[in-house]
Structure 1
């Protein structure tokens, strides 16, 4: 458990360091290049992509668990629970950081950033991105096959890009969201592994 705590601590130290790499000037310059010079014909497509983050992330574990119930497949149900747990862990961490960092949205600070979609709440980190990467990472860990990993991360990356294309997040918000999402899934996996090991030790009578 101590090793897990150390890994989580290093993860958040890395997250903090990575977010400071982007100075505000670099951040807004990158966003302007992506948002102001975007192909506006793709706005509706990226709006669909960005709106898919929450429904897909909720539907994936619910659908998997439902199929597991119907087929009486305990392995599938356990994988569904893991993906759902990663989603909840990620949501808690993301919400806590939004409150702690308290960063305004780019369109609240810069008048030339005109968002394509409405977004409320604070900017750092990107919640849509963190949710998508949490789902992509947990799915990839549950099913470590290229035909799961590649589409999952392509979708998650598209969600992250869409947040900048639509003008509602800085690049550093998206980068942090991706790290938090992937880290949440990894931490959830490690915690489950540790808890299961403790459970089996108790069952076997091993101290």
Structure 2
């Protein structure tokens, strides 16, 4: 039995080690072989994250106020709730896992900027995908969905390009952001159903 346990622990550690190696290998390919001509663009994409994520529900709510449209205001609140939920989950995970930034563990990574928080998951990616997913759910039109996720994907890529996140940080951030949107949607739908049993959709 002890031999089986030792074998299991060995295989587990080996798989974790391989995953870590794949993570840093992919990051090195993105970061060390990057096209420096688009560096200002990547910085701009990263810096746009919180302005767009916070500004989106604010603008939608303002439109709802001007037009006196309660449905539009509900959509704005939903987008805002999703952003808040993703930020909370991200903060909890960061301070629970406490993963160092890749440029701290691997000095060869050329980080264009420094970050003070922990690495896992990517907060920028989480916020971007929370905004993109909730906005796409509130306005399920191709001309909303396509640019929203194109921007969110660019944010995730920019974090690796700038050398401040591992690919798994970005993947986890995307899952947290999108998952927060679905969680908030289901929660709102459940609450609205309790208040109005015959209500079919969140926005109606």
Shorter-chain TM-score range:
0.7 to 0.9
Over aligned residue pairs, what C-alpha RMSD do you find?
1.4
Q: Which runs of 5+ in 1 are unaligned?
A: 1-19, 202-207
C-alpha distance in 1 between matches for 2:60 and 2:132:
14
1:24 partnered with 2:20: yes
- SS of the aligned residue for 1:135 comes to helix
Q: Which of 174, 180, 183 is the aligned partner of 2:179?
A: 183
Greater RCO structure (CA 8 Å; 6+ sep): 1
- SS of the aligned residue for 2:196 comes to helix
Q: CA deviation at 1:146?
A: 0.5
Q: TM-score, normalised by structure 2?
A: 0.87
C-alpha distance in 1 between matches for 2:180 and 2:18:
22
C-alpha distance in 1 between matches for 2:165 and 2:67:
42
1:74 partnered with 2:55: no
Match of residue 34 from structure 2: 38
Q: CA deviation at 1:22?
A: 7.0
Q: CA deviation at 1:114?
A: 2.0
Q: Which of 147, 155, 160 is the aligned partner of 1:164?
A: 160
Match of residue 89 from structure 2: 93
Listed as ranges, the matches of 1:1-207 within 5 Å are: 23-201=19-197
Q: CA deviation at 1:21?
A: 9.8
C-alpha distance in 1 between matches for 2:17 and 2:127:
23
Matched residues, number: 183
Q: For structure 1, which segment, 137-146 or 115-124, has the greater mean C-alpha deviation from structure 2 after superposition?
A: 115-124
Q: Which runs of 5+ in 2 are unaligned?
A: 1-15, 198-204
Q: Runs in 1 of length 4+ with deviation above 6 angstroms?
A: none
- SS of the aligned residue for 2:145 comes to helix
CA deviation map 1:49-99 (0-9, x unaligned): 011111000000001101111110111100000000000010100000001
Alpha-carbon spacing, 1:113–1:68, altered in 2? closer, same or farther (3 Å): same
Q: TM-score, normalised by structure 1?
A: 0.86
